[in-house]
A = this chain, B = another copy of it.
Amino acid sequence: MVSSMGLARISRVTPAQIRKDLSYFGRFGKQGRGYNVGQLLEELWRILGLNRRWRIALVGVGKVGRAILEYGGFDSQGFQVVQAFDVDHQIVGQKLASVTIRHASELEQRLREDPVDIGIVAVPAVEAQAVVDALVRCGVKAILNYAPLCPRRPAHVELRQIDPVLALQSMTFHLKALEQPAKRR
């Protein structure tokens, strides 16, 4: 068993916030007894959609794309790359981590025949918008983007950006403020 107090300590929010967030999805735990850890975990996985498999198409099999295909951490969490595309004829036709890499020109046809839930974009910045547009046309509703720009997409399409330079840039304002407290406004 774990109390909302215990969960709050681990996640560094207030116990009231924990109880409020969970109550949004129904009744959890018993007054004064807390939550059964196993049941709570199972419920959370179900709520978050993590108790099933999600099919992924990877576009761009350069250095980053290759690392994604070969990374063992996705599959155990229910994320499976089932299709991969590139424009490099040296790479097209190769099989990596049981996925045969297809030419990017086949992307729309293949995704219409064999739809995926999520697209991973690992192409150069100049290609990224066209790739996102093609994925959206094929019904992809969630995109993980490694290209160093923020592509436009319809409001119903979720996008997460993996960009270390952006992440570093988002911290420098704070670093500067720590260095020069007198100049802070």
Given the complex of chains A and B, what is the CA–CA distance between A47 and B74 in angstroms? 38
- Is A126 located at the chain interface by the 8 A CB criterion? no
Q: Is the interface of A mostly helix, strand, loop or mixed?
A: mixed
Q: Which of A142-185 contact B (CB under 8 A)?
A: 142, 144, 148, 156, 158, 160, 162, 164-165, 167-176, 178, 185
> Which of the residues B24, B144, B164 comes within 8 Å of A68, measured between beta carbons?
B164
- Fill in one digit per residue for A55-94: 1 if any B CB lies within 8 Å of its CB, else 0: 0000000010001100101100101000000000000000
**Least CB separation from A155: chain B residue:** B12
Quick check: is A50 within 8 A (CB to CB) of the other chain? yes
Q: Which residues of the partner chain B approach A117 to less than 8 Å between Cβ atoms? A: 175
CB distance from A169 to the nearest CB of B (A): 6
Q: Smallest Cβ distance from A12 to chain B, in angstroms?
A: 9
Within the complex, which residue of B26, B142, B175 is in contact with A158, where a contact is CB–CB below 8 Å? Answer: B175
Q: Which residue of B lies closest to A71 (CB)?
A: B164
Q: B118 and A168: CB pair below 8 A?
A: yes
Q: Which residues of A contact B (CB under 8 A)?
A: 24-26, 47-50, 54, 63, 67-68, 71, 73-74, 77, 79, 117-118, 120, 141-142, 144, 148, 156, 158, 160, 162, 164-165, 167-176, 178, 185
Measured between alpha carbons, how far is A88 from B24 in the docked complex, in Å? 48
**Contact at B171–A118, with CB atoms within 8 Å?**
yes
Question: How many angstroms between the C-alpha atoms of A174 and B159 in the bound complex?
Answer: 11
What's the nearest-Cβ distance from chain B to residue A6, in Å?
16
When A and B form their complex, which 8 residue pairs have the shortest distance between CB atoms, in order from nearest? Answer: A49-B176, A49-B172, A160-B167, A142-B171, A158-B171, A158-B174, A48-B173, A79-B168
